Chain A
Amino acid sequence: MSSTAKDITKVSRRRAFSKADRTTLSAFVGIPLFFHLLLVWIPAVLTILLSFTYWSGISISRIKWAGLANYKNIFFDTPAFWEALRNNIIWLGWFGLIATPLGILLAYQIDRQIRGHKFYETAYYLPVVLSLAVTGIIWNFLLRPDGFVNGLFGRDIDNAISFFGNYDINIYVILTIASWRHIGYIMLLYLAGLKSVDSALREAASLDGATEWQTFKKVIFPSMKPVNIIVIVITIIESLRAFDIVYIIYGSSAGFPILGTLVFQNIAGEGASMKGAAYAVILFVLSIGPIIAYLRTTFKSDVQ
């Protein structure tokens, strides 16, 4: 942030702006800033404030100060919160250890132009085009008790394989669905990064007799640091903000609690309370670390 500010002052010292320039510049900066503040930061700050109140969302005069009561309620009285946190952490672990590495592996193989790489690229990229909500609808259609897969196995609704209601396996079912899309997303990001790696590095490594794994580990991977950080941050954010797929499949009943659905369940509908705002703040705090890291890398690479 500070380095960008410095650059601007440097530029302005070098060249005086005309009045028209200044108007244009302030319009270009001011209008997006205005909407950003209006649509992102003001609601965010209001949400934080509201999380310390009791309010049903109806008539502003009815807001009452609650202190930490909503948070106390969540941490000490709501088992669903811990269940949700557990699910989000498993989600993060799965994405971090399985889905993201798979995406990287795919990107690497496709970049090496293995046979049929065009086909793989298209096949894995396809789910990324679909929104998460559509992904949820497709898989719900496939896996629900009267869905396609159960039909294929000749199972009726009374003896259908329980994909969503069996709590020993359903998290892995959900994670597989989410990975279906996430792998392609990571693959795409990484592929773009790999394309920009200087091929001379690779040649030098192979001349020195490095194996494929050594080349990747010692040469390619370190030279892609900015992309790596983005991939890590995206993996974390995607795991924490997960909502769409679960909402499409389970509705707002919190049949499969994750933080995103708890926010929705407590803030929407007749049962609205500022407990939902408190959930949102918790989610915000958990995500802000990765987001700051993400922004810093983006800014750094922009400046360079």
Chain B
Amino acid sequence: MAYSQKVVDKFEQTLKNPEGASVGRWKPGDKDFHRVGTGIVGAPACGDVMKLQIKCENIDGTNKIVDAKFKTYGCGSAIASSGELIDMLKGKTLEEAQSISNQEIVDILELPAIKIHCSVLAEEAIHRAIDDFKSRRNND
């Protein structure tokens, strides 16, 4: 498999210590669930499903991502890409998060060309999560 050591390391760390790698979920009924945005992208039939959740707090009038969690069904690079994205998100404003491009993930993980779609999926997941969060705020 033409994976970089970075993909392998990220994948193995995630499996070894899921909680430490931000694997998890917030579910309806949890305290603060109203401040969580969820994005699910992909399809089981295509072999990739990513679920990304961001928890935001209004700090000085700006929504900032204070925590994020994920679960991913997919190949090793899909799992590594979601984990990498999570690391990038924490502490960012929604605007900053919105502007993260898949290329940043490709560069950090040195993804092979055939696996670039994994990073695209991650980018789509964050957009969905942000949209979900914003729609919830509008409903407040």
Q: Are A and B subunits of one complex?
A: no
**B residues whose Cβ falls under 8 Å from a Cβ of A:** none
**A residues whose Cβ falls under 8 Å from a Cβ of B:** none
